[in-house]
Structure 1
């Protein structure tokens, strides 16, 4: 009789991680499919699921097709793009800085996007330019971080500088709101809290194309990101130019977050919470977990947007919902990071 040798512990752990990843991916995909159906069905003019899905494809009653394709579908696609972009951007930034608090909404990127959008509004430019202003503002904040990073500052200090940039930009936005109250009273709400209201196909299509290009660049550079996890000395020994590589990845992540903010405003906590949640459930990051991170980010933002539209009173902006969900998560994260157990295992 031939004895069967037990599997090595590492192989067993990898197998369990893959199983958990598969379960999370299938669960998130199923939940997202249900949320997509609800987003098309619910509204001032409710529809049957079959009619709503048919209208999304251009079939059925002309009125249903118009409502779904011109109002509900752009908002839904905007939520999918922004949620995925923020989640992936947060995952990349946390690995680059090796800090659990590194995310676009903490390090000034979404603050820069808000500032760029509010400047466009304050000076009376066309609203078609608002996404471009938001994108430019986010990129400026990211370039400022990259310049500071090129000076060899410690990672922890860069995170603190990101917090300072975010606070300064928030103060600048408030100054513009006080200085130009009539021009900004209604339109600036999205750029303070985050909202998917009023998205149009030109905005969504442009953001989708640009986000797809940036996401592809991130996945292509994923192996380099994994090498950086080994530490600067080890990465340099393997032939990686650490400073330039980190800056290139930083700008890529910032561009992705800026595109999301240009589409939806400064949505809070998605980029901070989702990478941690995926890491807790499925283990260390891989290319597959990065893809699942995008899926979970889209699921969270679309779900929160449905809550803001159809459950909470007064059409609360989706950014308020994500902040309400994320604030307790941030508190739990801080307590977890400061616990003696986490310090011993770090």
Structure 2
């Protein structure tokens, strides 16, 4: 059942050395090109997404409004209603995709992601409890982070048996996921209907009614955790050689593993606290990034973020405009991600 996280054969990297004083960096020019293409594609998709809706706006007017040079009516629609939603989708998608990349690399299994092994469910449980008991969004990211960390620790402890097996971790994670989901449902049923309406909407996963405050929180989380994760990619690659080899290379194995777990939980928790538990973004996008750009590295980590943002934005456009009824974006990502998960599971079992 275990699946290699670097199954695709990468092209030989075209490395260049960049020297900044006493610091030297090896840069893969192909990955840089992919990042630039993904960034340009995301920008074009964002501009197009803001033209759609019951009040159509030309792309030129969208760009002018974003730059603060549009008319008052366009500025309100673009800058107040559509731009925060677009940015929230891009930032949340990037955070979720990076979280999946961290957890898949940490346990060396391509079938692992925080929404499958209970990390997202733990964050959701604590966030729903916070919403229902305090009826406030204040410190909601902290509650989601605590839930994600506790779920991760529980999965890790129950999986540990002289080491962490990817197969065992998936099975334990599915159990923890079901337990947290049941507890969340109990809370929703237990409280009065007037109190749970916001929590129920939040659990579907949506970027609806995103505000500039949401954008600021998502952006701050990404600004802190993206560099932290990129720096840790080399250490994660060393861990994938095995604990004994990593120790022989001077790696503090448990400390590195704990740091990676905290970064992964933080990435997931920040996104979930704003947009809810949107499924399968964390599972799918690291696969796509590795197939296109090769094994995970600092540059591929950034490329994964770009793909995650573009994917969630595209899914939100489909959820809003492709059907007669507007849907939460989590419905679209789950509809696309669940078949891919089953396909990957079937392909992995066929190799055994």
TM over 0.5: yes
For 1:150 and 1:252, locate their aligned partners in 2 and report how far apart those are by CA, in whole Å: 20
Comparing both structures, which one devotes a greater share of its residues to helix? 1
TM-score, normalising length: structure 1: 0.87
The reply on whether 1:189 has 2:200 as its aligned counterpart is yes
Measure the CA separation in 2 of the matches of 1:181 and 1:114: 19
Distance 2:114 2:212 in 1: 25
Please give the alpha-carbon distance, in whole angstroms, between the structure 2 residues aligned to 1:43 and 1:65: 15
Residue 220 of structure 1 is matched in structure 2 by 231
Q: CA RMSD in A?
A: 2.5
CA contact (8 A) 2:279 2:330 kept: yes
Which stretch shifts more, 127-136 or 252-261?
Answer: 127-136
Q: Which residue of 2 aligns with 1:115?
A: 125
Does the 8 A contact of 1:120 with 1:130 survive in 2? yes
Aligned to 2:23: none
Which consecutive residues of structure 2, in runs of 5 or more, have no partner in the other structure?
1-8, 16-27
1:3 maps to what in 2? none
Residue matched to 2:12: 13
Q: Which residue number corresponds to residue 317 of structure 1?
A: 328
Q: CA deviation at 1:179?
A: 1.3
Instruction: Give 1:207 shift.
Output: 2.4
- Could you list the per-position Cα deviations for residues 109-132 of structure 1 after superposition, in whole angstroms to 9, with x for gaps in the alignment? 211222122112322522445444
Cα displacement (A) at 1:148: 5.3
The equivalences for 1:16-165 within 5 A come to 21=31, 24-145=34-155, 152-156=162-166, 157-165=168-176
Aligned length: 331
* 1:186 alignment partner, SS class: helix
Separation of aligned partners in 1, 2:53 and 2:344:
36
* Aligned equivalent of 1:209: 220
Asked if the contact 1:278–1:289 (Cα under 8 Å) also holds between the matched residues in 2, the reply is yes
| SS of 2:181 mapped into structure 1 | helix
Matched, 1:255 2:266: yes
Shift in Å, 1:33? 2.1
Q: How far apart are residue 191 of structure 1 and its match?
A: 3.2
TM, length-normalised to structure 2: 0.86
* Residues 152 and 73 (structure 1), Cα distance of their counterparts in 2 relative to 1, 3 Å cut: farther
Change (3 A) 1:214 1:322: same
Checking the alignment, whether the CA contact within 8 Å between 2:230 and 2:299 is kept in structure 1 is: no
Is 1:174 matched up with 2:185? yes
Residue 242 of structure 2 is matched in structure 1 by 231
Query: Residues 12 and 183 from structure 1, CA distance in 2 versus in 1: closer, same or farther, beyond 3 angstroms?
Result: closer
Q: Distance in 1 between matches of 2:278 and 2:11?
A: 38
